[in-house]
Amino acid sequence: FLGAGGGNDIQWCFSQVKGAVDDDVAEADIISTVEFNHSGELLATGDKGGRVVIFQQEQENKTQSHSRGEYNVYSTFQSHEPEFDYLKSLEIEEKINKIRWLPQKNAAQFLLSTNDKTIKLWKISERDKRPEGYNLKEEDGRYRDPTTVTTLRVPVFRPMDLMVEASPRRIFANAHTYHINSISINSDYETYLSADDLRINLWHLEITDRSFNIVDIKPANMEELTEVITAAEFHPNSCSTFVYSSSKGTIRLCDMRASALCDRHSKLFEEPEDPSNRSFFSEIISSISDVKFSHSGRYMMTRDYLSVKIWDLNMENRPVETYQVHEYLRSKLCSLYENDCIFDKFECCWNGSDRQVEFLSLCTSDLPNIVMTGSYNNFFRMFDRNTKRDVTLEASRENNKPRTVLKPRKVCASGKRKKDEISVDSLDFNKKILHTAWHPKENIIAVATTNNLYIFQDKMN
């Protein structure tokens, strides 16, 4: 259990870092997605080169009570390849946009991975035995001359070195004209949605040749286009409910029971804008880059360029909480527009939680309630919804002594810079943390810098 109550701030320590040390980053090595599976035992990453790497947590060592199991490479495979659509003169990147795990049903693990156009269901299975003692085949595979066989034996399974195999079980293709930004598995564990800039499709995990379009915001005249879909997610408990966010900062909640095509939302979440504050940048920075339901499904969190907002599903006209991620960037928007950083898509995540306890607990404010998101200069931010305290931490190899608590960082927006503070102008905007993930049950977090994966965990006594 996560050590609830009493305002015990989590003390984060470096645990591991994966990836190359050199500064010269190959495009293919840029990490594009990070996701824990439902038990937290497996951690998957996807990169721009179309590859998936899965790490597995070691079984806890009873003698080493001061740390949890380390994550080591379990499997790696090429999920997507680059393609060229000659008909449309379109290059299709192999970059993995999202990975989503299915809950485990049997010995094998399943995940969905997607690039801009095609979603694939991968089966990851273990093999630790192999049959030996065939009558007609030698151990090396050569066939024996049947006339030389004088006795019969029964082949048996013998142990072998563990082999982890990944195989594509389903390919869901040709359903998206625009670029897929999200996939989300339904709580029925049978269907999932995929969203591109203008449309959302519903699939059945077993059926690849058919998909239902459930949202279509493409205008009849493309010149009237004002808004695109930026993210979508199914509700964690209600299998007919999903939300999608837009480039204009709105979130629409739809109920699939209302109609086959959910173009009319059931709820529209939008914070009214102060017209006196409107500028050229307003719409761009209001674009929502990520939307995530809380585990209970009562709240959802959105990330726009400068802030994280928590919405109560029962209140559409404004968020219940807003947290500033890096407000000091508001006076740098001109240069951030020029270097394209203003279009960076940051993700956000909730802390893991024990869902059962959350339901049973009469006073949910005792439960740890923390949200995390990335920023620049390899900084990432955490906001504690209970204490209203926030912290800025850094993913850097300089802090890589295990069990050393990470030192909070501070950015100096203006005026005199204190010792240990970093001025806004010294921030490295090439070092962005776009993808982070929180273990579903423990205080372990995975933070992806451009090409490295950091794992941090809370200080255990």
Partner 1 sequence: MAAPLGTGGFTEETGQEKQDTQEKDKAIPPERAEEAKLKAKYPNLGQKPGGSDFLMKRLQKGQKYFDSGDYNMAKAKMKNKQLPSAGPDKNLVTGDHIPTPQDLPQRKSSLVTSKLAG
CA 435 to chain centre: 6
In the list 3, 5, 82, 408, the residue contacting partner 1 (rule: CB under 8 A) is 82
Query: What track of x and - describes contact with partner 1 for positions 420 through 459 (by CB under 8 A)?
Result: -------------------------------xxx------
In the list 41, 47, 304, 394, the residue contacting partner 1 (rule: CB under 8 A) is 47
In the list 149, 163, 225, 315, the residue contacting partner 1 (rule: CB under 8 A) is 225
Assess 169 for contact with partner 1 (CB under 8 A).
no
List the interface residues with partner 1, window 234-293 (CB under 8 A): 247-248, 276-277, 279-284, 287
Asked whether the beta carbons of 339 and 332 are under 8 A apart, the reply is no
Q: What Cα–Cα distance (Å) separates residue 235 from each residue in 39, 172, 195?
A: 19, 22, 15
In terms of DSSP bridges, do strands 390-394 and 379-384 run parallel, antiparallel, or are they unpaired? antiparallel
List the interface residues with partner 1, window 107-126 (CB under 8 A): 116
Q: Which two tokens stand for residue 289?
A: 């880059």
Neighbours of 129 (CB within 10 A): 12
| Interatomic CA distance for residues 295 and 237, integer angstroms | 9
Number of H helices, E strands in the chain: 3, 32
Point out which span in 15-23, 126-134, 168-176, 378-386 binds partner 1 (CB under 8 A): 15-23
In the list 189, 315, 334, 404, the residue contacting partner 1 (rule: CB under 8 A) is 334
Burial class from Cβ neighbours inside 10 Å (0-12, 13-18, 19+) for residue 70 reads middle
Q: Which is nearer to partner 1, 236 or 374 (CB)?
A: 374
Assess 212 for contact with partner 1 (CB under 8 A).
no
Assess 24 for contact with partner 1 (CB under 8 A).
no
| Interatomic CA distance for residues 65 and 143, integer angstroms | 52
Q: Which is nearer to partner 1, 306 or 370 (CB)?
A: 306
Asked whether the beta carbons of 436 and 34 are under 8 A apart, the reply is yes
Number of residues that bind partner 1 (CB under 8 A): 58
List Cβ neighbours of 2 (8 Å cut-off, separation of 6 or more): 351, 352, 353, 354, 367, 368, 442, 443
Assess 78 for contact with partner 1 (CB under 8 A).
yes
CB of 359 to partner 1, least distance (A): 37
Assess 223 for contact with partner 1 (CB under 8 A).
yes
Q: Which residues bind partner 1 (CB under 8 A)?
A: 18-20, 28-29, 31, 45, 47, 49-51, 53, 73, 76, 78, 81-82, 84, 86, 89-94, 116, 178-179, 197-198, 222-228, 247-248, 276-277, 279-284, 287, 330-334, 337-338, 451-453
